[in-house]
Amino acid sequence: MNGFIKSSTIILQKSNGEILLGLRSKELRSFPDFWVFPGGKIEEELPDDWIGDEIASVDQVLQELYEETGIVAGSPDVIPRDKRNESANQFVLDYRARDEFKLSLVFSGRRQTPPFLPRIFDAAYFYSNHKMIDSFEGEPDGTEIIELVWMTPVDIISKWSLGNMKIPPPVLHFIMLMTRTDRFIDISLTETELPVGLQTKIEFAPGFQIIPIESDTIAPFSHTNLILIENRDEAMLVDPGAKNDSFEHFRQILQTLDQTPKIFLTHDHLDHWNALPVIEDLFPDAIIYGHELTLSRIETTLVKSSVSSGNIEIGDITLQVLHTPGHTDGHLTLFNKTRGILIAGDHVVGIGSAVLSASTGNMTKYFTSTQMLIDLQPKLVYPAHGPVNFNPVKLLKYYIKHRTQREISILQAVNNGAMTLDDIVKTVYVDVSRELWEFAKTNIKLHLEKLFEEGRINELITH
């Protein structure tokens, strides 16, 4: 990881219960097209052991509130976006009345984004229900925030549950707490130091959690995403992988469950199932579902049930089982048609493109499986590594285009006299870090097998 990016966020609530959310621009890298609380990066350098309620955190969140909405803390004035010039900015910085407003801010804990990507945001949250908030309306800056709305937490959760609002998990968690108790700040503060998956539910659709657990996976990843599906007193865990020293984190997650979960394995790679001993200990009567080829390679005391098609029901959530060979011969994915959610295992990754198995991968079948997933028209994909993706059709089409382009380059390298995998990788993967060339050679080998089967090369290069 490249370190933490410190930021602060503000929750404003009117006396009628409405809170302020802003719709982020589609052009932004962080949560584009999501509804968020106002806030942003803390410009002043803070130490790694920062608490969150430092003056710099408070000053920055009030500055961000102004820049994104035109709201001047401690004043009924809203500065139109075309008037937010240098002199207006200085007015905001110097405005004395905001000191009273600052006293109304209550530090409500910190949240860190999950370790999906190298950029980790560590955000301090502040809450205020100062009487002056009732006069705040605001005007979006049109660059970062393109729309503002005041809504009650209950109405927000209702819209999110229906799929009509996209909300980042930490924001969603705060709003859910607000709907359940007036002690949400106390609860948030106690949750601040909890590990990922316990601190804040990472939930992009009702009932579907994604919890990164540190595992023995390959670069650029360091975690395997445990997918936890819960509905109507039933639960299922997808791909329980963890390093030995991450077993305690995994155990803490399992101890939140009130029932024995179903276990589903997308494929047989060790980083997707090597935390099974924890499940054997806590839930010895759990059943593992997976393709027969996958289950034949798994050592466990749990009961195995082979599947390659049909449906699995978790409460009233229906998951279609799809055999998607390519990454491995027994690779499975799950699809929830109601929400358009694809649980993709290693067929999709959150960064770059998938590396297929050297022993059981197949490039021809990977192309076929990818097209089959495109035909489903999924709306949201949960990969086994990296962040979720909200435009999976575009991503899957890119995979086909990318693999086709690589294949053309590999064929060209062979026609130009390349005799070994090393010769090809030096030519074709010049845009990829040398640290990843050994993994790239696995995909090259599978491309060559495909080209040989199709009669486009006369001799198979294997080393």
Token pair, residue 233, equals 């007193």
Topology match between the domains 4-191 and 203-390: no
Per residue of the chain (463 residues), give pLDDT as tens: 346 889 999 999 999 999 999 999 998 877 889 999 999 999 888 888 899 899 889 988 988 999 999 998 878 778 888 888 776 666 666 666 678 888 889 999 999 888 887 667 889 999 999 988 998 989 999 999 999 999 999 999 999 999 899 999 999 999 999 999 999 999 999 998 888 778 888 999 999 999 999 999 988 889 999 999 999 999 999 999 999 989 999 999 999 999 999 999 999 999 999 999 999 999 999 999 999 999 999 999 999 999 999 999 999 999 999 999 999 999 999 999 999 999 999 999 988 889 999 999 999 999 999 999 999 999 999 999 999 999 999 999 999 999 999 999 999 998 988 889 999 999 999 888 888 788 889 999 999 999 999 999 888 877 8
| 237 touches 320 (CB < 8 A) | no
pTM equals 0.90
Q: Is 334 helix (H, G, I), strand (E, B) or coil?
A: strand
* Closest to 387 (Cα-Cα) out of 249, 202, 235, 228: 202
State the DSSP string of 94-163: H-TTHHHHHHH-EEEEEEE--TTSS-EEEEEEEEE--GGGGG------SSSEEEEEEE-HHHHHHHHHTT
Q: Which CATH number fits domain 4-191: 3.40.605.10, 3.90.79.10, 1.10.260.40, 1.10.10.10?
A: 3.90.79.10
Which residues sit opposite 35 in a β-bridge?
Answer: 23
* Closest to 236 (Cα-Cα) out of 246, 226, 244: 226
Q: Which fold has domain 203-390?
A: Metallo-beta-lactamase; Chain A (3.60.15)
Domain edges within the chain? 4-191, 203-390, 406-453
Token pair, residue 57, equals 């955190």
